[in-house]
Structure 1
């Protein structure tokens, strides 16, 4: 019986331009400016051209994504990677605009998919979503340590519409995302710190973010709470930001 073959490590080419867009509703979201500042520092460190739009309405979320797609497709040099940060009140599958109307996350995601954004076809698209996904609160449980690994396989010739995307949520489905009035959200602050100061593939960095946040405790209404991010990946290769 032959021994298993080791996986080949293919990496995304990051030699081209790096672009980032942050859409943040500040209305009734104290502390979000600290998150914007942390994101801007991270993007400067990682050499991303970054744009921030504050207080978009539900329609402006869509309009700004369309503008970003056009910017990418018309950029003077090839674009290697794009980040989109979405920060607002929300519920599972939706974000609330500054006008209190809702926009579907799927409608935002599809703007940059392999069908609709030629400049990012087969290129990594990373979405960071800082928003509630429900009303549940997690008091935490005593459990043993778990390890999760993900393996992606390259696909040649043609490419599926929805590959090369990474969705990073501040909390798991159905649960609240916490934010400090002055310090910002533990999620954004941890992501920006790890992405700036640690090296490894983005999946490895996210595992570190999850480990750090699992050790944290948030006090809400005088009660300790636990919160952990969740990420969903269709990346086909290793993505290294550093």
Structure 2
């Protein structure tokens, strides 16, 4: 970067062009050198003759963020498609409760991603197979003229056997879909038009049944109240899939994931809290962070803000996290 900057600067004056002049140490403007008794006078280059450095871009500015090799370019309008799968009501046979407050999450994210230049499609209360069909339909579409793809899933979740990405999400019929399966619909093998382009997944679902009470730290504890009657979790028990999994062959046959980021609302194995009136902790915080920082910060930095804010809530604890296989920084394009 320094070599590129210096390549555009005028050549510095030769030593013979610098003339010794007297410098008034008491603040004279026109004196240009310092003389010491018994020593040579020291030439000082005149201010007008010094090469002028171009102004550096302000930190966080568009030039500072986007004119670099390690940043994804979002030039299309819309910049990509966003699919939101919002499961609220589940069949009686599933033994899964109604996810009150999820519509609040869905509405927030619809507005947010539209403001971030995405073409948003929402589907509500889908059984597992219909969820799969919607995901496959999105993956089969031609994304050649687009720069990105986003998938948001709001549902009950569970632990699953996995190789790459942990966790699973439930359809309204109580059947689970591994997150790993969802992500792989969009990899380089199954979705060629998204090769080399960022594919972002946001999962609001429990990763298990464990309830984290946290640990004691110095300083004041957060002021949020303990989860009460209006606070629910999206947890379901761990289920071991039927049949044996030939893991060595499965690993060898999977393509290397690239340009993929999966953001989870909670650590694998733990519950994810949702308020029936204000929505889930994760989505509420994610929406707020995107609103405040999407114009100036990259996605990973914003997800750190989300994790930090959510981890400070309530007596029960929750810590969002992500599996990041992006090759570059990702900045949303704000309208």
Q: 1:3 aligns to what?
A: none
The Cα shift of 1:70 comes to 2.1
Which fold has the larger relative contact order, with Cα–Cα distance below 8 Å and residues 6 or more apart in sequence?
Answer: 1
Contact 2:264 2:322 in 1 (8 A): yes
Cα distance between partner residues in 2 of 1:119 and 1:197: 31
Q: Residue 278 of structure 2 is aligned with which of 180, 183, 204?
A: 183
Aligned counterparts of 1:214 and 1:133: Cα–Cα separation in 2:
16
Give the Cα separation in 1 of the matches to 2:74 and 2:331: 8
Report the Cα offset of residue 143 of structure 1.
4.7
Residue 10 in structure 1 maps to residue 70 in structure 2: yes
Aligned counterpart, 1:236: 327
The aligned length equals: 211
Q: 1:68 aligns with which of 138, 157, 161?
A: 138
Corresponding position: 1:26 with 2:104: no
Q: Report the TM-score when normalising by structure 2.
A: 0.61
Q: Cα gap change, 1:225/1:9 in structure 2, threshold over 3 Å: closer, same or farther?
A: farther
Superposed CA deviations along residues 156-175 of structure 1, whole A, max 9, x for unmatched, are xxxx6410000000000110
Residue 79 of structure 1: SS of its match in structure 2? coil
Q: Which runs of 5+ in 2 are unaligned?
A: 1-67, 90-97, 160-166, 219-254
Question: Which position in structure 1 is the counterpart of 2:110?
Answer: 40
CA shift at 1:216, angstroms? 1.6
Q: Distance in 2 between matches of 1:70 and 1:101?
A: 23
Q: CA deviation at 1:9?
A: 5.6
| Aligned-pair Cα RMSD in Å | 1.5
Q: Unaligned regions of 5+ residues in structure 1, if any? A: 1-7, 145-159, 218-223
Q: Deviations over 1:9-61 (max 9, x none)?
A: 61001112321000111111000010011101111210110000101111111
Bigger radius of gyration, 1 or 2? 2
1:137 aligns with 2:211: yes
The structure richer in strand per residue is 1
CA–CA distance in structure 1, aligned partners of residues 69 and 99 of structure 2: 41
TM-score scaled by structure 1? 0.83
Which of 208, 220, 228 aligns to 2:305? It is 208
Residues 1:112 and 2:174 aligned together = no
Query: 1: CA distance between counterparts of 2:316 and 2:259?
Result: 33
Partner in structure 2 of residue 164 of structure 1: 259
Does the 8 A contact of 1:127 with 1:168 survive in 2? yes
